[in-house]
Structure 1
């Protein structure tokens, strides 16, 4: 996985730094009985450091054979320590010839196969160091180094596991986002073509009557089913409501509701107020145009603004009638529509032409 890349690079840097540290320790210890053997071990470590760096950089090679060879070479270098030190190097706390370089395969096992593999590799290396130090009388200082190796193997494996899980979640989220974007694109295309054609067939069928009316009814059912299908998406954020679900309840044989394919998210209170204002406008249509009067509800979202339009083909509102109704105490439009939107900072525009119907436009910033 891509997330492993930085870990392998870090292990490569650790190998080089540990190699330099081991060489410095070898140069400082003049009491080794077999210094030539010690420098030979340092040479083997240098060659394997270069080989392992290139091998682990290639993803296909990061398998059990490479890990096994890595651990074997490290153990071989570690187990030469008693022969390099001899009987003279019995100073309490002296480092083995490879020094901290022995931790490299532990880290590699942990990164590749997780906590258990890292812990197993640490136990193997710790056993080898126990044998090495026991030969020169230093077994009493092993416990701290053993604990550190085991902790390194477990913790690094755990960190890599968490990183892989995070990468998988991120990948799934990216795939879901891409799928959602594609779904929204298809929904827009469907909304701009198929849904509009079905709505037109439904409206014209009802106007023509007869067999065409039945065709219009079927088109209306298919429009509703298709709109529901393309509208399915993730749940809205907490505290918000999709206005489309409110407006859909007003759909009927005499009321056509058209909404975008994408959610119209509003705070719950705002969505309820807009829905109530639309309901009040439709009540006015039924009261003044008849229960079977045709009406259309259109919801749109543009530049952060939600616009809901209620249109009918009734006789229209005579000039001055709204003002007269307010003066007479009939506050249906003033309170139920304009009042609700004023409380939310929205606007209401009413355009009516006698004999040509009325259009109520409700605008609210989302």
Structure 2
């Protein structure tokens, strides 16, 4: 899509160069034909050079944009000398004619409507100077208005088109990734998952060391099932569900929505780290075999993850004493992380009634 805009500018440059040449022939070179045809030659050479340069991503940038603008303004400022005393009689069209709109369009495509407006202001200012210094030249604002409209409208449309292309590319990538996951899921379901399920079941039946192997097989089966079913998130984003499901085990039950919890990768990773810290506290204070439940849900522009256990609860004042003693697990690993994300943490607990840590982080809807 980006290349299509630059190609359209190249076509405009060539067409406007032909138009300026026709005007030069029509008026027999104006008052100073040599200077006039020199301007046309410069325009032709720069049209060829700019058309090539703007088609190369590595060259397209600020140096080229500035040179483009300087060439156009220089050709425009040559108008009073080339046309001389005929400038007022020959109407309001300068020597380069509409060719000077090329840099405005280029700046607009490169930087959007704001940069297009800046370029239009520069060219319009040069055109006003030419008219003020021309003998009897009428002061018209039609050209300036058209330049501003072209710069702003083209810049806006170019930005919209580029964003649409990026979204389309992400959608194609997600669809391809999902098709690959489905292909792998079919093969894994027919082989690996069935074997893991069998090991889990037989291990539980046999007991002893085999039961531990069965437990590990069950954990890997759950993790593998999640891996092949969760959809890929857009580039630069992550699905929090996938990160939370990795925390599941025979002791930890993870429940997530059916739809993706998509958020920036850093936010998703820090949120999962805070949940992991909460689960570490469950194991540390309730025992290795303590049960815990993780529940995630999507709200209005935010995601809430709660971690609940059925342990002895937190005695009144214990968190404050831990902070005073320099033990900052809750203060830093959970509350600190979430605060850095612009979120909040609430802890509900009572002796003998377990603990629930509720983590809420901003997650704009996609």
Shared fold per TM-score greater than 0.5:
yes
The aligned runs of 1:304-323 (5 Å cut-off) are none
Query: 1:110 and 1:94 mapped to 2: Cα distance?
Result: 25
Which residue of 2 is the match for residue 218 of structure 1?
Answer: 215
Which residue of 2 is the match for residue 335 of structure 1?
Answer: none
Residues 1:78 and 1:203: Cα distance change in structure 2 (over 3 Å): same
What is the Cα deviation at residue 9 of structure 1? 1.1
Residue by residue over 1:141-191, the C-alpha shift from the partner in whole angstroms, topping out at 9 and shown as x without a partner, is 2x1110110111111111111111112112222222233233333333332
With normalisation by structure 2, the TM-score equals: 0.57
Query: 1:156 and 1:163 mapped to 2: Cα distance?
Result: 10
Which residue of 2 is the match for residue 89 of structure 1?
Answer: 87
The aligned runs of 1:71-150 (5 Å cut-off) are 71-91=69-89, 93-136=91-134, 137-141=136-140, 143-150=141-148
1:198 to 185, 196, 199: 196
Which residue of 1 is the match for residue 183 of structure 2?
Answer: 185
1:21 to 19, 22, 26: 19
Query: 2:219 and 2:25 mapped to 1: Cα distance?
Result: 85
Determine if contact 2:131/2:137 at 8 Å carries over to the other structure: yes
Query: 1:230 and 1:145 mapped to 2: Cα distance?
Result: 60
Determine if contact 2:113/2:155 at 8 Å carries over to the other structure: yes
Structure 1: gaps spanning 5 or more residues: 236-262, 264-366
Q: Report SS of the residue matched to 2:86.
A: coil
Residue by residue over 1:196-234, the C-alpha shift from the partner in whole angstroms, topping out at 9 and shown as x without a partner, is 11232345456x655488468637843762365246435
Provide the alpha-carbon RMSD of the alignment. Answer: 2.7
Query: 2:165 and 2:29 mapped to 1: Cα distance?
Result: 51
Q: Is 1:53–2:51 an aligned residue pair?
A: yes
The aligned runs of 1:240-255 (5 Å cut-off) are none
What is the Cα deviation at residue 70 of structure 1? 0.9
Which residue of 1 is the match for residue 168 of structure 2?
Answer: 170
Query: 2:103 and 2:64 mapped to 1: Cα distance?
Result: 10
Q: Report SS of the residue matched to 1:52.
A: helix
Residues 1:31 and 1:91: Cα distance change in structure 2 (over 3 Å): farther
Which residue of 2 is the match for residue 160 of structure 1?
Answer: 158
Determine if contact 1:198/1:222 at 8 Å carries over to the other structure: no
Query: 2:82 and 2:24 mapped to 1: Cα distance?
Result: 10
What is the Cα deviation at residue 94 of structure 1? 2.9
What is the Cα deviation at residue 64 of structure 1? 1.2
Determine if contact 2:108/2:154 at 8 Å carries over to the other structure: yes
What is the Cα deviation at residue 104 of structure 1? 0.5
Determine if contact 1:31/1:88 at 8 Å carries over to the other structure: no
Query: 1:215 and 1:62 mapped to 2: Cα distance?
Result: 62
Query: 1:27 and 1:165 mapped to 2: Cα distance?
Result: 44
Determine if contact 1:204/1:216 at 8 Å carries over to the other structure: no
Determine if contact 2:181/2:228 at 8 Å carries over to the other structure: no
Which residue of 1 is the match for residue 67 of structure 2?
Answer: 69
Q: Is 1:12–2:10 an aligned residue pair?
A: yes
With normalisation by structure 1, the TM-score equals: 0.57
